[in-house]
């Protein structure tokens, strides 16, 4: 495995942007807390407290909800968010006045901040991409030497990479959305070892109850039962194997 997956050529090309994500314009950052925020924060807490005026960049920040959560716990941290969708960036600015935001596409280096950060996060973002190499190096390059990059989302335990497109019934014929690809841990590990980087996967134990962010959204994450145990899935019937990948820079 070389860390690269083929492009499917389906509509809504997997460059990370999705019309679907404009739904975050209807979700105030302070009220859009996700169940995994505490888990991610627990892995970066020491870095945010040991370094005066530590800096954090959230890639694919959407409405700024994770940065809002971090700021409530670590007010002195310098927070910055980027997203490829300008309406989301404008909305995030209005939601979190003590952070900075800019439009940035993680697949296009020239759109990214020139600064380097102590911590870089990408939460439920990497499964939007069919290939790893189009964004991974750009993400790694945003962390300062000695910093860390944290990628939270879907990872397959088995050495199999899965490409997924979903469309809500009745929507436009070309409304196939990316966002549920399940890259294998093996593919990520191979790519990171080839770059000479140290990394670790951290297991995520979801809460017993995970309320959908919107009851009307059939693609929202929710809890279900499989073989007598709680699992996460969505309305497409896809199991969602969440984990956290921590990469040292």
- Answer for the pair 96, 68: CB distance below 8 angstroms, yes or no: yes
50-55 own/partner pairs: CB under 8 Å, 24+ apart: 51/118, 52/76, 53/77, 53/78, 54/78, 54/118, 54/119, 55/79, 55/80, 55/115, 55/117, 55/118, 55/119
H or E segment to which residue 30 belongs: none
Tell me what pLDDT residue 15 has: 57
3-state secondary structure of 169: coil
Q: How far is CA 94 from the centre of its chain?
A: 21
Nearest CA to 30 out of 1, 78, 72, 79 is that of: 72
pTM above 0.85, yes or no: yes
| Matching residue, tokens 């017993």 | 208
Q: What is the 3-state secondary structure (H, E, C) of 111-145?
A: HCCCCCEEEEEEECCHHHECCCCCCHHHHHCCEEE
Series of mean pLDDT values for 10-residue runs along the chain (249 residues): 34 61 92 96 95 94 98 97 96 97 96 97 96 94 97 97 92 86 97 97 90 81 85 92 97
Instruction: Report long-range pairs for 221-226 (Cβ below 8 Å, ≥24 apart).
Output: none
d(CA 23, CA 80): 21
Q: Pick from 120, 119, 191: which is nearest to 155 by CA?
A: 191
Which CATH number, 2.30.40.10, 3.40.50.150, 3.40.50.720, 2.60.40.1120, labels domain 19-248?
A: 3.40.50.150
**Model pLDDT, residue 134:** 87
pLDDT at position 175, please? 82
pLDDT of residue 14: 46
Q: H-type helices in 10-84, by residue range? A: 37-50, 65-73
Q: For residue 16, what pLDDT is reported? A: 61
All structural domains of the chain with their residue ranges = 19-248
DSSP SS3 for 189: helix
- Least Cα distance to 179 among 136, 222, 225, 220 occurs for 220
182: DSSP letter: B
CA of residue 105 relative to chain centroid, distance: 13
């Amino acid at each position: 495995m070389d860390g690269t997956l083929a492009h499917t050529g389906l509509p809504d090309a997997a460059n990370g942007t999705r019309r679907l994500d404009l739904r975050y314009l209807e979700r105030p950052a302070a009220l859009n807390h996700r169940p995994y925020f505490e888990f991610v924060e627990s892995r970066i807490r020491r870095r945010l407290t040991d370094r005066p005026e530590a800096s954090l960049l959230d890639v694919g920040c959407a409405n700024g909800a994770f940065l809002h959560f971090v700021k409530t716990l670590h007010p002195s941290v310098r927070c910055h968010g980027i997203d490829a969708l300008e309406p989301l960036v404008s909305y995030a600015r209005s939601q979190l006045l003590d952070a900075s935001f800019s439009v940035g596409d993680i697949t296009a280096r020239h759109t990214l901040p020139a600064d380097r950060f102590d911590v870089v996060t990408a939460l439920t973002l990497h499964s939007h991409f069919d290939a790893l190499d189009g964004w991974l190096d750009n993400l790694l390059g945003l962390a300062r030497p000695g910093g860390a990059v944290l990628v939270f989302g879907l990872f397959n335990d088995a050495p199999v990479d899965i490409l997924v497109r979903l469309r809500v019934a009745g929507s436009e014929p070309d409304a196939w959305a990316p966002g549920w690809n399940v890259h294998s841990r093996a593919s990520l590990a191979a790519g990171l070892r080839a770059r000479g980087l140290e990394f670790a996967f951290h297991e995520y134990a979801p809460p017993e109850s995970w309320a959908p962010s919107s009851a009307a959204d059939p693609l929202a994450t929710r809890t279900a039962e499989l073989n007598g145990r709680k699992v996460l899935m969505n309305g497409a019937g896809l199991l969602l194997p969440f984990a956290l990948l921590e990469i040292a820079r």
